[in-house]
A and B are shown apart, each in its own frame.
Chain A
Amino acid sequence: MNAIQTTDLTKRYGDVVALDGVSLSVEAGTTFGLLGTNGAGKSTLFRILVGHLAPDSGTVTVGGRDVTEAGHELREAVGYVPEDAGFPPSLTGREVLTYQARIRGVPKAERAERVAAALGTVGLDEAAERRVGGYSNGMNRRLALASALLARPKLLLLDEPTAGLDPLGVAEFHRILERLREEANLTVVVTTHVLAEVEALCDDVAVLHQGNLRFDGAVDDLREMGDGENLEAAFRSLIADAEGREPRVAPAVER
């Protein structure tokens, strides 16, 4: 069962092709990495997935439904954390989530409980009454994750979730995601350009480069394409292939 399916997805910004006929699928219940260098098309794909951008051609379905038809209802069931998430510094963490819960239409009787649960899940319960302006970068990222969890989603889309975090912050974020995945059976899609993050978190991975899909398969398969030790050799080879030489693997690998 696929949580996400894209077929021949293309998006251009003027003469720049951000996505060029990308077809991939994300299996429900897995953690999927969208890996690529800056400008690879990862964020464009995410913005299409949450309905912020319309593709020029191709189709995208989330939960079997065409995202271009779902409109903002799509985001009722999907937790999305944009890359540069921020909050009004004068609000407390609890107030941020409470306002968001109201906008989401969470019934009043459930609101406080659901906000508290989201704060607890990301380890911000003790900082809930502090103003967000005093939060560290890592706490801000965790608050953004908590806001996505208010939807009680089955699909989490995280755009560069650990960008700018120190190693301890990254480890904490990964630990939360792992626990969420185990306890809530989430499908998680993460964009990143950090190979270690893919190794730590993901079951499957797609490699995008300059809008082209260079690989779509299991992380273990990608590792085996290189030296079998880590992903770096395979990733370098895919990028090099894309910049002149013929690909050593098919752009999309059937699983």
Chain B
Amino acid sequence: MTDTEPRPDSRSEPTETDGGVADETSVRLPTRRGDGSALQQIATVTRLEYALSIRNRWAFALTGLFASLAVLVVALGGQGGVVRTDAVVVSLVELSALLLPLVALVYGYDAIVGNDESGWLGMLFALPVPRSRVVVGTYVGRLAVFSGAVVAGFGVGGLLLASGGRLTPAYLGLVGAAVLGGAAFLALSLLISTVAAEKTHALGGTLLVWVWLALVHDLVSVGLIAADVVDSDWLAVFVLANPVTVFRVLALQSVPTVTGGMADVLVGSGLTTPVLVGALVAWTVGPMWLSSRLVARRSV
């Protein structure tokens, strides 16, 4: 049957979208967008991701991990009953520089590719929602869980310090830097999850990124400067090129005295707080922008 031959049982009612012939079975696409606004769609995916992380107990696990870390460091930071807050902050920053990116990367690596393998991404993409909104909503939902866990977990350590009257701006600065750093690490993991074909590839990719960012990059950077391969002016560039280093420098900036080692070298980069905050924002927005573009190419 052709376009011009309606079915015998049809009830014709000409419209613009069907070429002038319509019946009650006609398939008509909307001529305007439905009620699903961008904000509502992103907020719904965000709520969904948040709810899933609560039910999967990720939120409790992350909060417990950060709280344990903070309590342990605060407890060990006390000497003869006196807690040295600066030492606590420096220790916590150094531990966080290893753990925070690792946890964020592991928490986020399956956000897209994992949902793809389970068939859920295909169901979401079958809905009238642009893929970029699914990516942004997924990210914001996981970021809310991660940030909440950082604030609550480190908050327990903060309460311990406050109970002894030793809570300082440096500790609060650490919590702020951890939230900003976590946002950047999570965005990186989402980017890896978006481009990975399989979960195992994404996990391998996140671990490689972690090894480079948390273990190798700073050693190579400082080594190049120490060996006079590059000028010491390059230090600022090396710092900005690694979100983990940016996090370390930002968190240590509010500590009056940093007790030597690599941390001293990095803090000596001369980067201001606004520049460091801007760098972490750029490390968040850049990967997110890339993810929301690249997800369109993903085969589901």
Give residues in A with beta carbon < 8 Å to B. 1-5, 25, 27-29, 50, 52, 62-65, 70-78, 80-82, 84-88, 90-91, 99-100, 102-107, 144, 147-148, 151, 154-155, 185-187, 255
Given contacts A1-B26, A103-B124, 4 further A-B contacts (CB under 8 A): A62-B29, A85-B122, A90-B52, A186-B25
Assess whether A63 is in contact with B25, with CB atoms less than 8 Å apart. no
List 26 interface pairs A-B (beta carbons < 8 Å), by A numbering. A1-B6, A1-B21, A3-B26, A3-B27, A52-B299, A63-B26, A64-B18, A70-B29, A71-B130, A72-B130, A73-B128, A75-B126, A76-B29, A76-B30, A84-B122, A88-B48, A90-B55, A99-B44, A99-B48, A103-B44, A104-B128, A105-B128, A154-B27, A154-B28, A186-B25, A187-B27
Assess whether B17 is in contact with A106, with CB atoms less than 8 Å apart. no
Assess whether B48 is in contact with A52, with CB atoms less than 8 Å apart. no
Tell whether A103 pairs with B123 under 8 Å between CB atoms, given A75-B128, A76-B29, A77-B27: no
A3 to B129, CA, bound (A): 22
Contact of B126 among A62, A65, A148 (CB under 8 A): A148
Tell whether A147 pairs with B33 under 8 Å between CB atoms, given A91-B52, A185-B24: no
User: Within 8 Å CB of A187, what residues of B?
Assistant: 25, 27
User: Within 8 Å CB of B40, what residues of A?
Assistant: 102, 105
A154 to B120, CA, bound (A): 23
User: Within 8 Å CB of B256, what residues of A?
Assistant: none
Please list the 5 inter-chain residue pairs (A to B) with the smallest Cβ-Cβ separation, ordered nearest first.
A86-B119, A105-B36, A105-B35, A29-B25, A63-B27
B84 contacts A by Cβ under 8 Å: no
User: Within 8 Å CB of A29, what residues of B?
Assistant: 7, 10, 23, 25
Give residues in B with beta carbon < 8 Å to A. 1-3, 6-7, 10, 17-19, 21-30, 33-37, 40-41, 44-45, 47-48, 51-52, 55-56, 118-120, 122-130, 299-300
By secondary structure, the B interface counts as loop
User: Within 8 Å CB of A76, what residues of B?
Assistant: 29-30, 33-34, 128
Q: Tell me the smallest distance from the CB of A179 to a CB of chain B, in Å.
A: 16
Contact of A72 among B17, B118, B128, B300 (CB under 8 A): B128
Q: Tell me the smallest distance from the CB of A187 to a CB of chain B, in Å.
A: 6
Q: Whose C-beta in chain A lies nearest to the C-beta of B6?
A: A1
A73 to B17, CA, bound (A): 14
A106 to B34, CA, bound (A): 9
Assess whether A77 is in contact with B29, with CB atoms less than 8 Å apart. yes
Tell whether A102 pairs with B44 under 8 Å between CB atoms, given A28-B27, A87-B120: yes
Q: Whose C-beta in chain A lies nearest to the C-beta of B23?
A: A1
A241 to B100, CA, bound (A): 62
By secondary structure, the A interface counts as mixed
Q: Tell me the smallest distance from the CB of B265 to a CB of chain A, in Å.
A: 46
Assess whether A155 is in contact with B35, with CB atoms less than 8 Å apart. no
A144 to B3, CA, bound (A): 31
A251 to B49, CA, bound (A): 48
User: Within 8 Å CB of B18, what residues of A?
Assistant: 1, 63-64
Assess whether B119 is in contact with A255, with CB atoms less than 8 Å apart. no
A106 to B40, CA, bound (A): 11
Q: Tell me the smallest distance from the CB of B36 to a CB of chain A, in Å.
A: 3
Assess whether A255 is in contact with B1, with CB atoms less than 8 Å apart. yes
Tell whether A1 pairs with B22 under 8 Å between CB atoms, given A75-B128, A77-B29: yes
A77 to B158, CA, bound (A): 53
Assess whether B19 is in contact with A64, with CB atoms less than 8 Å apart. yes
User: Within 8 Å CB of B47, what residues of A?
Assistant: 99
Tell whether A77 pairs with B127 under 8 Å between CB atoms, given A90-B55, A105-B34: no
Q: Whose C-beta in chain A lies nearest to the C-beta of B15?
A: A64
User: Within 8 Å CB of A50, what residues of B?
Assistant: 126
